[in-house]
A and B are shown apart, each in its own frame.
Chain A
Amino acid sequence: QQQVKQSPQSLIVQKGGISIINCAYENTAFDYFPWYQQFPGKGPALLIAIRPDVSEKKEGRFTISFNKSAKQFSLHIMDSQPGDSATYFCAATIDRGSTLGRLYFGRGTQLTVWP
Chain B
Amino acid sequence: NAGVTQTPKFRVLKTGQSMTLLCAQDMNHEYMYWYRQDPGMGLRLIHYSVGEGTTAKGEVPDGYNVSRLKKQNFLLGLESAAPSQTSVYFCASVVAAWGETQYFGPGTRLLVL
Q: Bound complex: CA of A32 vs CA of B108, how far in Å?
A: 28
Inter-chain contact B98/A97, CB cutoff 8 Å: yes
Docked-complex contact A101 and B102, CB < 8 angstroms: yes
Name B97's contact: one of A34, A41, A96 (CB within 8 Å).
A96
Is A89's CB within 8 Å of the partner chain B? yes
Which residues of chain B from 1 to 40 have any CB-CB distance to chain A below 8 Å in the complex? Answer: 4, 31, 33, 40
Q: Among the listed stretches A12-20, A54-62, A70-78, A104-112, which one makes contact with chain B, having 4 or more residues with CB under 8 Å of it? A: A104-112
B56-100 vs A: 1/0 string, CB under 8 Å? 101000000000000000000000000000000010101011111
CB distance from A32 to the nearest CB of B (A): 7
Check if A99 is an interface residue, CB within 8 A of chain B.
yes
Question: What is the distance, in angstroms, from A12's C-beta to the closest C-beta of chain B?
Answer: 17
Q: Is the CB of A45 within 8 A of B31?
A: no
How many chain A residues sit at the interface, stated as a range, is: 20 to 34
Within the complex, which residue of A46, A89, A102 is in contact with B42, where a contact is CB–CB below 8 Å?
A89
CB contacts (< 8 Å) of A49 on chain B: these are 100
Q: Which residues of A contact B98 (CB under 8 A)?
A: 96-97, 101
From A46, which residue of chain B is reached at the shortest CB distance? B101
Binding site for B on A (CB under 8 A): 6, 9, 32, 34, 36, 41-46, 49, 89, 96-103, 105-108
- Which 9 pairs between the two chains have the least Cβ-Cβ distance? A43-B104, A107-B42, A105-B42, A105-B43, A46-B101, A101-B97, A101-B94, A44-B104, A108-B42
Q: Which residues of B contact A (CB under 8 A)?
A: 4, 31, 33, 40-45, 48, 50, 56, 58, 90, 92, 94, 96-102, 104-107
